[in-house]
């Protein structure tokens, strides 16, 4: 395959949480490619290592020696989290992803100000760009307009998820990694968030790697990857497999 087609390549990646050489690694010589512009669902049972995989890609966890992670063709295994974000990775953790003590507006401003963090001296051009980005995000997430002045720790779980996701859409990323963005939401709110997500993804053409257990919401993805026993067990382009109970039994249960 032409390497430049992939935004992400994980090659022979092994990750453990302890130093015990004999323990079974969570990611075990894993190979995984994500093609540019695709939306990929990463699934697998609880504890199989999905969050571990995302944390490894963003740089929160260090893999064992010997493997490599390529981001847009560039080796990043030895690069810091900050450098990876700078290169164009965005990550939304399974829990959190917001500044709880700040207001919704300040959370959005923090994301908006990624290129000039908290600077008091914005150029006129930057001020215009900031306003445009803020107007855009409030156009995409109109319900945030009513709660801009609220502190995030006082919001419901669903509202927090929305703020966290809205912030991620403001960053100029090439790859958005979302760890269970709809967890804890009721069916209607989850559907709403997924619809918004789909619209944002379509408009931006960004690559998305999303972990979700809510399979019925994921019919719009391009590919389904299943993580099992430390490796990608299958990478399916036929997402109607999610309706196939034999397939689900084989790979998911
Ligand atoms: N900080 C940690 N220290 C030690 N072990 C951990 C840590 N975080 C996760 N693990 C272990 O690593 C394994 C994979 O965890 P991970 O959170 O990646 O799974 P997951 O697929 O995201 O699960 P879920 O669907 O429940 O979110 C689990 O066995 C878990 O107990
Ligand atoms: Mg997880």
pLDDT digits (tens, 9 = 90+) for 72-82: 999 999 999 99
For the segment 234-241, the average pLDDT, to the nearest whole number, is: 82
Q: Whose CA is nearest to atom 13 of ligand 1?
A: 47
Where do the DSSP E strands lie in the chain?
6-15, 27-35, 39-43, 68-71, 74-75, 89-92, 175-179, 207-211, 223-228, 231-236
Non-local (6+) Cβ contacts of 34 within 8 A are 6, 7, 8, 9, 40, 175, 207, 209
For the segment 4-10, the average pLDDT, to the nearest whole number, is: 92
Measured from the alpha carbon of residue 93, the closest ligand is 2
Q: Is the pLDDT of residue 6 over 80?
A: yes
Spatial contact of 217 and 189, defined as CB atoms under 8 Å apart:
no
Residue 91: CB atoms within 10 A of its CB come to 22
Specify the pLDDT at position 61.
94
176-197 confidence digits (pLDDT tens): 999 999 888 888 888 888 888 8
231 C-alpha to ligand 1 centroid (Å): 14
Q: Is the pLDDT of residue 228 over 60?
A: yes
227 C-alpha to ligand 2 centroid (Å): 12
| Mean pLDDT taken over the chain | 88
Specify the pLDDT at position 118.
55
> Taking the mean position of all CA atoms in its chain, how far away is CA 119?
27
Tell me which of 111 and 23 has the higher pLDDT.
111
Q: Is the pLDDT of residue 246 over 50?
A: yes
For residue 68, name the pLDDT band (cuts at 50, 70, 90).
very high
> Taking the mean position of all CA atoms in its chain, how far away is CA 145?
24
Measured from the alpha carbon of residue 50, the closest ligand is 1
Probe ligand 1: pick from 32, 48, 179, max atoms within 8 Å of CB?
A: 48
> Which residue, 25, 56, 29, 83, is CA-closest to 211?
56
98 C-alpha to ligand 1 centroid (Å): 21
Whole-angstrom CA distances from 248 to 44, 45, 241 are: 10, 11, 8
Q: Cα dihedral sign for 171, 8, 222, 232? A: negative
25-64 confidence digits (pLDDT tens): 999 999 999 999 999 999 999 999 999 999 999 999 999 9
For the segment 227-232, the average pLDDT, to the nearest whole number, is: 95
Q: Cα dihedral sign for 179, 23, 76, 225? A: negative
253 C-alpha to ligand 1 centroid (Å): 17
pTM of the entire predicted model = 0.90
220 C-alpha to ligand 2 centroid (Å): 21
The end-to-end CA distance of the chain, in Å, is 31
108-164 confidence digits (pLDDT tens): 998 888 776 555 667 788 888 889 999 999 999 999 999 999 999 999 888 898 999
Tell me which of 120 and 69 has the higher pLDDT.
69
> Which residue, 129, 59, 52, is CA-closest to 89?
59
Structural domains of the chain, ranges and CATH numbers in brackets: 1-88+172-253 (3.40.50.300), 95-171 (1.10.8)
Residue 1: CB atoms within 10 A of its CB come to 8
24 C-alpha to ligand 1 centroid (Å): 13
Spatial contact of 252 and 44, defined as CB atoms under 8 Å apart:
yes
Spatial contact of 184 and 166, defined as CB atoms under 8 Å apart:
no
Q: Whose CA is nearest to atom 28 of ligand 1?
A: 47
> Taking the mean position of all CA atoms in its chain, how far away is CA 55?
10
Q: Is the pLDDT of residue 1 over 50?
A: no
Give residues (CB < 6 A) around ligand 1: 17, 26, 44, 46-52, 94
Specify the pLDDT at position 242.
77
Q: Whose CA is nearest to atom 18 of ligand 1?
A: 49
Rounded Cα gap, residues 193 and 150, in angstroms: 20
Q: Is the pLDDT of residue 97 over 90?
A: no
Query: The tokens of 197 are what?
Result: 């997500």
Q: Whose CA is nearest to atom 7 of ligand 1?
A: 17
């Amino acid at each position: 395959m032409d390497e430049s087609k992939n935004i992400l390549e994980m090659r022979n990646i092994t990750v453990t949480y302890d130093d015990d050489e004999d323990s079974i690694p969570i990611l075990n010589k894993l190979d995984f490619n994500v093609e540019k512009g695709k939306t990929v669902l990463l699934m697998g049972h609880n504890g199989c290592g999905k969050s571990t995989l995302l944390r490894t890609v963003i740089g929160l966890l260090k893999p064992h020696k010997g493997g490599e992670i390529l981001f847009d063709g560039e080796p990043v295994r030895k690069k810091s989290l900050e450098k990876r974000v700078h290169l164009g990775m965005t990550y939304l953790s399974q829990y959190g992803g917001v500044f709880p003590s700040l207001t919704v507006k300040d959370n959005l401003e923090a994301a908006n100000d990624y290129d000039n963090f908290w600077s008091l001296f914005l150029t006129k051009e930057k001020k215009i760009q900031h306003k445009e980005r803020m107007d855009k995000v409030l156009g995409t997430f109109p319900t945030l307009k009513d709660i801009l002045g609220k502190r995030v720790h006082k919001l419901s779980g669903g509202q927090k998820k929305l703020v966290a996701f809205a912030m991620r859409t403001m960053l100029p990323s090439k790859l958005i990694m979302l760890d269970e963005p709809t967890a804890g939401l009721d069916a209607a709110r989850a559907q709403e968030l997924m619809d918004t997500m789909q619209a944002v993804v379509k408009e931006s053409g960004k690559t998305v790697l999303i972990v979700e257990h809510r399979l019925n919401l994921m019919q719009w993805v391009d590919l389904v990857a299943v993580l099992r026993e430390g490796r990608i067990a299958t990478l399916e382009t036929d997402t109607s497999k999610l309706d196939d109970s034999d397939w689900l039994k084989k790979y998911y249960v």
